[in-house]
A and B are shown apart, each in its own frame.
Chain A
Amino acid sequence: MSSDAIAVQTAGVSADRTWLQTLHEWVTTVDHKRLGVLYVFYALIFLVIGGIEATIIRIQLMRAHNDFVSPQVFNRMFTLHGTTMIFFVIMPFMFGFANYLVPLMIGARDMAFPRLNAFSFWLTALGGTLLYFSIVGGSGLYGAGSAPDVGWWAYAPLTSRAFSPGHSADYWTIAVLVSGFGSIGTAVNLVATVLSMRCPGMKLSRMPLFAWLTLVMSGLVLISISPLSAAQIMLLVDRYLGGHFFDTQAGGSATLWMHFFWIFGHPEVYILVIPAFAFASEIIPVFSRKPIFGYPVMVGATVSIGFVSISVWAHHMFTIGMTSYSNSFFVLTTMIIAVPTGIKIFNWLGTMWGGKLQFKTPMLFCIGFLFQFLIAGLTGIMLGAAPFNWQLSGSYFVVAHFHYMIVGAILFCIFGAIYYWYPKITGRMLNESLGKLHFWLFVIGFHLTFDVMHVPGILGMPRRIYTYEPGRGWDTLNMIITIGAFIQGIAILLFLANLVFSYFGGSKAGNDPWDGWTLEWSVSSPPPVYNFASIPAVASRRPLWDLKHPEDPDTHYD
């Protein structure tokens, strides 16, 4: 009862606040829940920006010899689109959810280092701002800048002073460097939180899979974002101090940049997809009304994915001409990754098998994820075979493959997670019919775009071209791809409308709308500032199940 009284009291106080005081509270906050919401809000803004850039790219490629944008603008669009979506949409989404949920799930009142948490968020925010500030400030403060146009992997020597004059490439470098420091700070924080802040009884073997997978993701951030930061520092030394790291005319190596970039770049894919696995591992059991199948194997598979993922990077570089030994090594390690990921798919299906499936919107998105993740994995195996890769590297087949992974797997899981945890975060349910409409429209748009996109790739259409000749058999396909992109855009607008209208008019959620099992559903929605009035203690993997079913608690089987 006392906690209710506190809640009423704080509600009364917040009603008197002016908007300036509220803004001040949000800007100076060190509360993990507010920072989590800020991360997600920030990611949503950049999702819209990155989506507009994707739309511009698709309109330009809609038909042959289109002149919707100039070639220069097209180059800037795909550079901004890639950088934005990876660094300023998906990563903030993942860090936002990890921030919000990990302390609640492990029974803690905040993260291990709340001020570091705030600092990391604002670094990430500064990074995104810097990237777009290049448009106005790229040539000094004359309002005559230009956005970076070096592609999201910024291969040398294109980034050298001679080929990228002005400051647009510097803004790209510093934006990525600064947000990288933010990511490392958050990763340090998450590892320390998971290892040092668990409530009594929450042994590692009893943690929700979400916390486990966040731990593995954070470990990967520590060892793979840092090489990117190192490479960015080298690039800055080259551009500002006249260094020669990637200067081929002074004996430097452009290939070294590729290695350094992909040593970051491939684990990055797993940094993005492991949290998606984490969402699926929480959502699928709840809507199958069964505990997760093979918990220890899921943990083991995730850890082994983490390990193997740091030894596969050069499969992005088969076409540069490595030795046959290097090629064989990277083909083999790439194939090995299929084993733990296969185990994970098997276990999610095993969780659903024989369960009482409830096809709510979060579950629909997770089922879409399972299907699309499998196909993305299959095209990944195709591209992982060096001879096949020599044929299709740098074509739209590759673009289709990684969008299948990033949109079809990761973004689907993010949508699932938002539908699943929105009630906890806001206290209101998202509209279910709008949610289902969003899901089906997005599935149709997604498959129209990215299934079809494989075909022009096989027909030889290279990525990053701003236009193409008519009569190569690419025209109709590109038109279909663009139509699919518009359907996805409409679906996302519906989703954003749902977020706004449900916040004001959605039905009240209560503490536990999905009949969940993890600790976050035991507190009110939204949770109080201090999370738990008294620190909980747990005796099994599903503490709320034990509480709801005292006659048959999990502790009997642990």
Chain B
Amino acid sequence: MSAITTPVAQRPVNWRLPYKGNVGMACLIIAESAIFTIFVVAYLFYLGKSLTGPTPREVLEAPLFYTICLLSSSLTIHLASRFLERGKPGAFLALWFLTIVLGGLFLFGTGQEWHRLIYERGLTISTNLFGTTYYSLVGLHATHVTVGLLMLGIVLLLGLAGRVGQEHSARVDVLSLYWHFVDAVWVVVFTVVYVLGR
């Protein structure tokens, strides 16, 4: 039995498998989607069940400008990674930086909205069910934006140091996949909180 060696059959030509980075990120996105689904379900389930005010209709205003910022950052990151793929690091870095600025603007918008809600409208996470579900859902999304911005920032620093080249475009694509997911989640959160929820 010990004479057995590793079998080497006829090697098939064209043996190609999906890139592990993309598969891994797709799996993470599936898991994250499940987490967000639960928070969205809780938000919808508790709509109108708060025993005290304020209600969403009274205090929420749709953050249209910041939503446009976040959604357009999907476009800029896509273009950035295409430029990297074609070997144009300058254009890549510029668009990558623009993506970070747009994402940062969005976070600033969320902060401003929360500040207004807390100090002018008196809505905190413990005020009522609406406060609990609203801050949890929007906060979970903002956390994901923050994590995304940190990772984008690391790539930016490496890029400024000249360490990001054409050969890294597959890896950068994995990160942009995550960013697209964060944007797509915002579409859902926006619809649920600011359109259906009011």
Query: Interface on A for B, CB 8 Å cutoff?
Result: 112-113, 116, 184, 187-189, 191-193, 195-198, 200-201, 218-219, 222-227, 229-231, 233-234, 237-238, 241-245, 250-253, 256, 260, 263, 510-513, 515, 519, 521-523, 532-534, 536-539, 543-544, 546-548, 555
Contacts and interface: CB of A to CB of B under 8 A. Distances in A.
B195 interface: no
Interface of B: 1-2, 4-12, 15, 17-20, 23-24, 27-28, 30-32, 34-35, 37-39, 42, 45-46, 49-51, 125-126, 128-129, 132-133, 136, 140
A222 B5 CA distance: 37
A230 B34 contact: yes
B131 to A, nearest CB: 8
A241 B126 CA distance: 7
Contacts of B35: 226-227, 229-230
Minimum-distance CB pairs A-B, first 10: A242-B126, A226-B34, A230-B38, A196-B20, A539-B9, A243-B132, A188-B27, A112-B20, A200-B15, A192-B24
Given A192-B24, A237-B125, A522 B2 contact: no
A532 B6 contact: yes
B40 to A, nearest CB: 10
B23 A237 contact: no
Interface-central residue, A187, A233, A244, by most chain B CB under 10 Å: A244
Contact of A522 (B4, B19, B32): B4
A201 B129 contact: no
Given A112-B23, A230-B35, A256-B42, A244 B6 contact: no
A343 to B, nearest CB: 27
29 contacts: A188-B31, A189-B24, A191-B23, A192-B23, A196-B23, A197-B17, A197-B20, A201-B15, A222-B30, A222-B31, A223-B34, A225-B31, A226-B35, A230-B34, A230-B35, A230-B38, A234-B136, A241-B126, A242-B126, A243-B136, A244-B126, A250-B51, A251-B50, A252-B132, A256-B45, A536-B8, A537-B10, A544-B7, A547-B7
B24 to A, nearest CB: 4
Contact of B9 (A225, A229, A543): A543
A218 B129 CA distance: 34
Given A250-B51, A536-B7, 8 more contacts: A112-B24, A184-B28, A184-B31, A196-B20, A226-B38, A244-B132, A250-B129, A252-B129
A195 B23 contact: yes
B2 to A, nearest CB: 5
Contacts of A233: 136, 140
A193 B20 CA distance: 7
Nearest to A252: B129
Given A515-B1, A547-B7, A191 B129 contact: no
A222 B34 CA distance: 8
Contacts of A187: 27, 31
A184 B35 CA distance: 12
B23 A519 contact: no
Given A244-B129, A538-B9, A195 B18 contact: yes
B4 A223 contact: no
A114 B30 CA distance: 21
Contacts of B136: 233-234, 237, 243, 245
B20 A113 contact: yes
Contacts of B23: 112, 191-192, 195-196
B60 to A, nearest CB: 18
Given A227-B38, A234-B136, A245-B133, A544 B4 contact: yes
A254 to B, nearest CB: 13
Contact of A519 (B7, B30, B128): B7
A326 B111 CA distance: 41
Nearest to A183: B31
Contact of B4 (A112, A184, A229, A521): A521
Given A112-B24, A192-B27, A196-B20, A251 B4 contact: no
